[in-house]
Amino acid sequence: MSRTQGSWIFTAQCPSRIGTVDVVTRFLREENCYITELNSFDDKESLGFVIRVEFRPEQSGFDAEGFLQRFAPRAAGFAMQFELTAPDARMPVVIMVSKSDHCLNDLLYRYRTGQLAIDIRAIISNHPDLEPLAQWHKLPYYHFPITAETRAEQEDQVSQVIQDTGAELVVLARYMQVLSAEMCEKLSGKAINIHHSLLPGFKGARPYHQAYDKGVKLVGATAHYINNDLDEGPIIAQGVEPVTHTHYPEDLIEKGRDIECLTLARAVSYHIERRVFLQKGKTVVFAS
């Protein structure tokens, strides 16, 4: 299911203990809030508990600040960290891209039509090619060229834009540069990347041509949080489609682009709807 229109989102995580679900649901009942969606998970390996609840107040004039203040004493007994997201919240986002425009175009369409509750504050690229697309959407476009010698300086420029715009999420929509370990650490849990997923893994140049030469039967895409291991961060969403011998390399590329767009949009949606929790290097995702 997708997010219920007009619903608030409550999320929390804490160590595993008896009563974690009850402390949340009982409080919502006492606050006269009707639960429209509830997901929880208790990880027996990490001994961590996460919960996500969508609810609607049954009375007008809901006091979010008072709600959080009243819940805090109960959360303290469980060492629970919690967050409340308003129905009209739009997450500030910066998109990074190189030359390929398919993922950027898809995100801009979903942003323009209201399918994604995001507020795009800027588009950053290491190439000037897509500036007209940003201008058409009346969005700031920053062209920061990069070389091996200027990587540190370029990443400082990127960091400054992220800071100045107040972005809470960075989306790498086919940004074809490897981020430094320092940048990955700075954006940990706050940056989503997309790349192709082919089995077996074809790395390097022309991966779809390599896959075609081997007679690949599946093409797909993976969206994940970035980390210092290239394309190996905690996975948020994946997509896959079957192909046959009738699909030539250009057909595989076209199908791969479609899957990348859908998978990236799904991952961004999960993140902004607070459906993703990081637990010791992996994700818990309450998919819609």
pLDDT tens-digit readout, 79-96: 999 999 999 999 999 999
> Which band of pLDDT confidence, cut at 50, 70 and 90, is reported for residue 3?
low
Q: Is the pLDDT of residue 1 over 50?
A: no
Give 282 or 269, the one with higher predicted confidence: 269
Which region among 118-122, 211-215, 255-259 has the lowest average model confidence (pLDDT)? Answer: 211-215
Contact 95, 124 (CB under 8 A): yes
In this structure, the number of other CB atoms found within 10 A of the CB of residue 162 comes to 23
CA–centroid distance for 238 within its chain: 12
Measuring CA to CA, which residue among 283, 281, 280, 274 is closest to residue 47? 280
Instruction: Quote the radius of gyration of the chain (alpha carbons, Å).
Output: 21
Measuring CA to CA, which residue among 183, 190, 5, 166 is closest to residue 88? 5
Give me the phi and psi of 208, to 5 degrees please: -70, -30
Kind of pairing between the strands at 169-172 and 91-97: parallel
Region label for 265, one of left (φ > 0), alpha (ψ between -120 and 50) or beta (otherwise)? alpha
Q: Which of 43, 231, 251, 258 is catalytic?
A: 231
In this structure, the number of other CB atoms found within 10 A of the CB of residue 68 comes to 14
| pTM greater than 0.75 (yes/no) | yes
Cα-based distances in Å from 252 to 161, 199, 224, 239, 262: 35, 13, 22, 14, 16
Supply the pLDDT for residue 229.
Answer: 75
**What's the per-residue H, E or C state across the chain?**
CCCCCCCEEEEEEEECCCCHHHHHHHHHHHCCEEEEEEEEEEECCCCEEEEEEEEEECCCCCCHHHHHHHHHHHHHCCCCEEEEECCCCCEEEEEEECCCCHHHHHHHHHHHCCCCCEEEEEEEECCCCCHHHHHHCCCCEEECCCCCCCHHHHHHHHHHHHHHHCCCEEEECCCCCCCCHHHHHHCCCCEEEEEEEECCCCCCCCHHHHHHHCCCCEEEEEEEECCCCCCCCCEEEEEEEECCCCCCHHHHHHHHHHHHHHHHHHHHHHHHCCCEEEECCEEEECCC
Give the pLDDT confidence of 17-75 residue by residue, as tens digits: 999 999 999 999 999 999 999 999 999 888 899 999 999 999 888 999 999 999 999 99
> Which band of pLDDT confidence, cut at 50, 70 and 90, is reported for residue 281?
confident
Task: Please give the domain boundaries of the chain with CATH numbers for all domains.
Answer: 8-85 (3.30.70.260), 91-285 (3.40.50.170)
Catalytic-residue membership of 251: no
